[in-house]
Amino acid sequence: MAGLVVAMDGPSGSGKSSVSRAVARELGLRYLDTGAMYRAMTWWMLRQGVDLDDPEAIAARSGEPEITSGTDPDAPAIAVDGEDVAGPIRGPEVTAAVSAVSAVPEVRRRLVAQQQAIMDESCRDGAGIVIEGRDIGLVVAPQAPVKIFLTASAEARARRRTAELTGTTVEAQQAAMARRDTLDSTRAASPLAKADDAVELDTTALSLEEVISEVLRLTKERTP
């Protein structure tokens, strides 16, 4: 494959999105937010009234919605059956339900295939892509020459997320994120985990600019 793939994994609030978009911009790469695709699938399930306590019901309907994701780091776009859902997928209902939907193997199979098709196209027709998520280095792009696993303390992650939202507190965010992290890390299907060849970067004490320049340095080091 000619293009460059940068795989960016880590829990919520670790800085994945800001870092991935900046790195893609700097290197002229496409950008894919795979979490937005799981959120879009969840938004559709909620709107259809699918019982999210029933993995078989989720699996049975998972082939129906047409999820389309843009790859412009300056304007990430996400739509379901042609409807722009960039706003609603960040709401509390979707955030509370997304771990249940993303744990279902049929959902993952479908979205991973779609993500790999976007990755192949970005490498064929462009310079490559930065892909962020939970299973990129291990499942979506195990061949990626650059794999980063971003972490940060639970408190730092909750603080960052609280700054992006209204009507919440650091304590409430920390509790909600801990719940989601546990679900995402202990599920049977592709749990959040670091690939052996990924570089772990703890961003707790680093500024966004410092993280971006470290990722750019690692990318240059790992690509001839």
DSSP count for the chain of H helices, then E strands: 8, 8
Q: Which is nearer to ligand DC, 185 or 220 (CB)?
A: 185
- Residue 164 beta carbon to ligand DC: minimum distance, rounded to whole angstroms: 11
x/- string (CB under 6 A) for ligand DC, residues 182-221?
--x-------------------------------------
Count how many Cα atoms sit within 13 Å of the Cα of residue 192 in the half-sphere of its side chain.
23
Binding track over 155-174 against ligand DC, x by CB under 6 A: --------------------
Q: Does residue 180 interact with ligand DC by CB under 6 A? A: yes
| Residue choice 14, 62, 71, 102 for contact with ligand DC (CB under 6 A) | 102
Closest CB to ligand DC among residues 28, 168? 168
Least Cβ distance, residue 140 to ligand DC (angstroms): 7
Kindly state the DSSP code that residue 24 receives in the 8-state scheme: H
Structural contact between residues 199 and 148, judged by C-beta atoms closer than 8 angstroms: yes
State the DSSP code for 166.
S
**Which of 21, 39, 160, 161 is the binder for ligand DC (CB under 6 A)?**
39
Give the span between the Cα atoms of 119 and 97, in whole angstroms. 27
Helix (H, G, I), strand (E, B) or coil at 101: helix
Q: Is residue 21 within the footprint of ligand DC (CB under 6 A)? A: no
Integer Rg of the chain from CA: 17
Among 4, 7, 12, 211, binds ligand DC (CB under 6 A): 12
Give the whole-angstrom CA distance, residue 98 versus residue 139: 19
> Cβ contacts of residue 65 below 8 Å, gap of 6+?
40, 41, 44, 80, 81
110 touching ligand DC, by CB under 6 A: no
Least distance CB 151 / ligand DC (angstroms): 14
Q: Which residues bind ligand DC (CB under 6 A)?
A: 12, 34-35, 38-39, 98-99, 102, 133-135, 180, 184
